[in-house]
Structures are given as C-alpha cells and as structure tokens.
Amino acid sequence: MTGDELRKTKRLILALDFGGTKLAAAVAVPGERGFLAKATAPSPTKKSAEADRKIILKLAARVLAGRKPAAVGVSFGGPVQAEEGRVVLSHHVPGWEGFPLAGWLEERFGAPAVVENDANSGALGEWAFGAGRGTKSFLYVTVSTGIGGGWILNGEIYHGADGLAGEIGHLLIDLEGPVCTCGRRGCLEAIASGPAIARRARELLASERSVLQDLPEITAREVARAANAGDPVAERVLRGAAQALGRALAQAITLVNPGRIAIGGGVARSGERFFTWTREAARRYVPPQARVEIVPAQLLDDAPLWGAVALAERLFEGTQK
C-alpha cells in the first residue's frame, strides 16, 4: 500500500447533509479540495425522520464503498444543540425533535461525529474552502426559500447564548411589512426570500403590465430572469428585495464589523445587478470606515457539505468538542 493510499484509508471524512429538498453524503480526505465520492437523493415525498435516516445510511454506504470513516461531520436543516450533537427540530421533516444524531452516527460508524445547523455549516464551509478564506470576521448569508446566516469569528462558529446567532432572516426591516414564517411582521425573510419575491411580483401584476403575466407560474428565478431582460415590474421587485437584504446586512455590519460577507442560495444567483443593489443599500447605512466586501458565495449547494468536512477535520485536531 502506498503512503497516499494509507492516508486515504486512515483519515477518511464522511460528510452528511440533511437539507430541505435533498439529502447528500460525501467522503473527503483532510487537506484536499474535491470529494472522493458524493451521492445525493431527493427528500422522500412522505416526510419522516426515519425515512431520512434510512436514505442517508444508503448514501453513506455508497460513497464509503466498504471503507471506514475516521470522523463524521453533519449539516442539519434546522436548529441543533451542537455541543450535545442533538437535533432540536427539523424545519422540513417531522419526527426529528430531540434526536441524538451524533450519538446515533457514532454507533453506526464507530467514529466520532459532530452536528451543526446548515447555516453555520455553510458558513464554515465557505470560510474554510470558499469565499470566506483568510478572513477573521466572516458572515455567510443564504437567500433561498428562507434566509439564514452564520458567523465565523476568529476561525470559530459563533453560536450565541442560545444557538440563535446569525438569524439574519428575522431582522426587522419593515414594521408594516408582510407576515413572516416566524409569525412576526416585516422580517427580511418575508421581503427578500424566493417565495416573498414571487408573491410581491404576483401582487404587482394585478395592476401592472409585465412579461411575467405570460408565465404559467411565477418564481423568484423567473422574476430575476425578467428583471435582467429589462422588464420594469420584475426589476422593481428584485431591486426591492436586494435593498431589503442590503439594509439587513448594514445592521449586521454595524454591530459586528465583518471583513467579508458572502451571499449564497438560489436568489443570490439573480445576476450582478442584484449584488450591486444590495451593496449600494448596505453602504448607505454603515459607517464609512467599514471596509467590508460583499461577494457571491463560491461553493453553491455544496457549502453545507464542505462545512461538515471542516467540522470533522476539527475532530481530528481536537479543537472542537
């Protein structure tokens, strides 16, 4: 066996991602970019925690191909008690309440496991392998069906007292704004998430002419496409969302003074003008000395998986747990 092979058999990381629409597993070797193997599956139509676990074990078996991991890192789509490796609940799937996910995985794989929520995991992934590299104070924001965020301060995930740090989607933007999924009114998520963008477009179409009217279904992606093609209604909707995001970022910048902010998620793929509007709105409300860069995330859908790799690497180093 060559030294390279020995290294791969000895220190294999299993990374798992329990996402909103899909489940994913990958294996990686510490210090190397690129997965040795990766497998994904759509979330089961009949949602249950048990079905998720069955699928993730199948995906893990496929990517491990008989090899044994030295550590397991997990990104989970919902709040977790990171220190105990326990799920609080899933935003997408019933039956996860209080489940000891790290312990369950440790039993199955005979290796230490670490669990984080997907926003923190995505943040760590971007910080270690993507758009956040080299920063001491980094904020990752993901804008898609919901809006989440995670802080990496001095190389560590910042959880806050109750694990709620980085919940930028629920910053108050407009007291008179639409009702949010959290039950309050005017949160960023109720204004700038994908569903919020689509809803705002539908509202305006009741009274205004737009190419969007010819579509069978209006989604945030269609709004972005129409905006970038010059449709004035779509442009107004997308600019409004970008400006709301910029104002939320301004609050975060003013409080914590990050060196860089990376924005990921489907809505962040709305084109360069989306970023221009976001940056302009943020700039307007931050101290002029703030040198913060606002950039697109780099790892796209793989950010949480790469975060899971980085979490597991830390188990080797003994810096976490």
Which residues contribute to the site for Zn ion (CB under 5 A)?
A: 170, 180, 182, 187
Which residue, 226 or 248, is less far from Zn ion as judged by CB? 248
Which residue, 240 or 307, is less far from Zn ion as judged by CB? 240
Which residue, 191 or 201, is less far from Zn ion as judged by CB? 191
Structure tokens that stand for 279 in this block: 């940056």
Which residue, 125 or 146, is less far from Zn ion as judged by CB? 146
Three-class SS of the chain = CCHHHHHHHHCCEEEEEECCCEEEEEEECCCCCCCCEEEEEECCCCCCHHHHHHHHHHHHHHHHCCCCCCEEEEEECCCEECCCCEECCCCCCCCCCCCCHHHHHHHHHCCCEEEEEHHHHHHHHHHHHCCCCCCCEEEEEEECCCEEEEEEECCEEECCCCCCCCCHHHCECCCCCCECCCCCECECHHHHCHHHHHHHHHHHHCCCCCHHHHCCCCCHHHHHHHHHCCCHHHHHHHHHHHHHHHHHHHHHHHHHCCCEEEEECHHHHCCHHHHHHHHHHHHHCCCCCCCCEEEECCCHHHHHHHHHHHHHHHHHHCCCC
Question: Own/partner pairs for 3-10, CB < 8 Å, 24+ apart?
Answer: 8/36, 9/67, 9/68, 10/70
Which residue, 100 or 178, is less far from Zn ion as judged by CB? 178
Q: State phi, psi for 262 to the nearest 5 degrees.
A: -110, 135
Q: How far is the CB of 191 from Zn ion (least distance, A)?
A: 10
Q: How far is the CB of 248 from Zn ion (least distance, A)?
A: 11
Which residue, 85 or 146, is less far from Zn ion as judged by CB? 146
Which residue, 6 or 182, is less far from Zn ion as judged by CB? 182
Q: How far is the CB of 47 from Zn ion (least distance, A)?
A: 22
Which residue, 168 or 187, is less far from Zn ion as judged by CB? 187
Q: How far is the CB of 32 from Zn ion (least distance, A)?
A: 39
Q: State phi, psi for 98 to the nearest 5 degrees.
A: 75, 10
Q: How far is the CB of 195 from Zn ion (least distance, A)?
A: 13
Q: How far is the CB of 177 from Zn ion (least distance, A)?
A: 10
Residue with tokens 């550590």: 71
Q: How far is the CB of 302 from Zn ion (least distance, A)?
A: 27
Q: How far is the CB of 141 from Zn ion (least distance, A)?
A: 15
Left, alpha or beta for 158 (phi > 0: left; psi -120 to 50: alpha)?
beta
Which residue, 182 or 229, is less far from Zn ion as judged by CB? 182
Q: How far is the CB of 267 from Zn ion (least distance, A)?
A: 16
Q: State phi, psi for 217 to the nearest 5 degrees.
A: -145, 140
